Amino acid sequence: MKIIQLLTFLIVSVCVQAQSSIEWIEELELDKIEPHSKKTFWLKMLDNGMSQPVCIPIIVLKGEQQSPVLGLTAAIHGNELNGIKIIQELAEEIDVSQLNGTIIAIPGLNGISIPQHRRRYVDEEDLNRNFPGKVHGNRSQQYVWQINNKVLPKMEYLIDMHTASFGRVNSLYVRAKLEDAVIAKMAKLQDADIILNSNGLPSTNEQISATRTMRAEAMLKGIHCITVEYGNPQVFQPEIVKRGKTGIKNLMNWLEMTDEPIDLNDEVVVCKKSYWIYVQEGGYLDIQVELKQQLQKGDLIAIMRNPFGDILNEYYCPEDGIVIGKSSNPINMNGGRIIHLGILDK
């Protein structure tokens, strides 16, 4: 027993020492980081209810030159974990002695919700719908304001890393403004199943509101940004992680940050638009289609039954398309989601 207690003490001591060796900062200053180095930081965002700092992890990989600066932000929603694993493995694999430019990687942007196994922020707000935030706003607005002022201005290119939400599953797909040549190239370099043409920018009236996404905010700042949906929530998916790293390495090659060969997916499908199909009654939903399945108008996509097993409704595909995402929860009430249907750009 004493040996076990001693070993436990030593392990905890090593972990605490490793954590304490990471620098705590109020601001990320790239100019002060030496070339060909890897640095880890805790960046303070705000204080919690015990007057303790709430911080987010920052990994900076800096090569010979500071520019270009590629940002990787994972888990603005607390259940979007695949992006965290992608960043962790990528940071281990990149050789900073051979790197040109800088990578700012954040393996966990929502410092409150991730350890609580929550998607939304502590006030039940969606952080990704609160940009640009407010310096004197409510809890979520102040947190977003910190992201908007401490993180985004440091980046020139950004991959905004997401997954599906609870109760849903996703293919690996990209949302990007394909009318922008640089952003379109960023999207096509990802090892994605589907690329969805999505403007992302708010209308003129919305540009003065606090309801836009981080991708929209980044583009308004002149940052070349795409959103990548890496599979499913609250899990690490090895295949998705591997493909996510491939896409980022492809982009780094194109930006001349590395000379690692590009590995393109020739089977990627491009969609001009997409939308969710919803149920019109409550019950037990049995979805008949799979992710990435191409559908024709009239194909059966789902059957709704009551608790006794009686069929209440059958749902059919309204037009030709492809399954981008779908519900994974059989229990649905009125307005529940069935599938996310992408309409192919022919």
Which stretches does DSSP call E strand in the chain? Answer: 23-25, 37-47, 53-62, 69-74, 102-107, 157-162, 168-170, 172-176, 194-197, 224-230, 269-278, 283-287, 294-295, 300-305, 311-316, 321-327, 331-332, 337-344
The proportion of the chain whose per-residue pLDDT surpasses 90, expressed as a percent, equals 87
Residue 86 backbone dihedrals phi, psi, to 5 degrees: -60, -45
Residues 120-145, mean pLDDT to the nearest whole number = 96
Under the banding of pLDDT at 50, 70 and 90, the label for residue 8 is very low
Per-residue model confidence (pLDDT) at position 20: 59
12 pLDDT above the threshold of 90: no
What's the average model confidence in pLDDT over 261-286? 94
Beta strand pairing status for 300-305 and 283-287?
antiparallel
Per-residue pLDDT, 231 = 97
pLDDT of residue 18 exceeding 90, the answer is no
Q: What is the pLDDT of residues 275-310, one digit of tens each?
A: 999 999 999 999 999 999 999 999 999 999 999 999
pLDDT at 15 over 50: no
Helix, strand, coil shares, percent, the chain, to 5? 25, 30, 40
Phi, psi values for residue 251, rounded to 5° = -65, -40
pLDDT at 100: 97
Residue-level pLDDT at 19:
55
Cα separation, 73 vs 131, whole angstroms: 15
Which of 299-313 are b and which e, b meaning 16 or more Cβ less than 10 Å from the residue's Cβ? Answer: eebbbbeeeeeeeee
1 — pLDDT class (breaks 50, 70, 90):
very low
| Mean pLDDT score, 35-56 | 95
- What is the residue-averaged pLDDT of the chain? 92
* Interval 103-130: pLDDT, tens: 999 999 999 999 999 999 999 999 999 9
The domains found in the chain, sorted by start residue, are: 15-254 (3.40.630.10), 274-344 (2.40.50.100)
Residue 14's pLDDT band, with cuts at 50, 70 and 90, is: very low
In angstroms, rounded to a whole number, what is the distance separating the alpha carbons of residues 224 and 214? 12
Contact 327, 285 (CB under 8 A): yes
The dihedral through the CA atoms of 273, 210, 30, 112 has a sign that is: negative
Rounded to an integer, the average pLDDT of 12-21 is 46
Task: Determine which of 10-24, 44-58, 107-121, 143-157 has the lowest per-residue pLDDT on average.
Answer: 10-24
Q: pLDDT tens digits, residue range 206-225?
A: 555 546 999 999 999 999 99
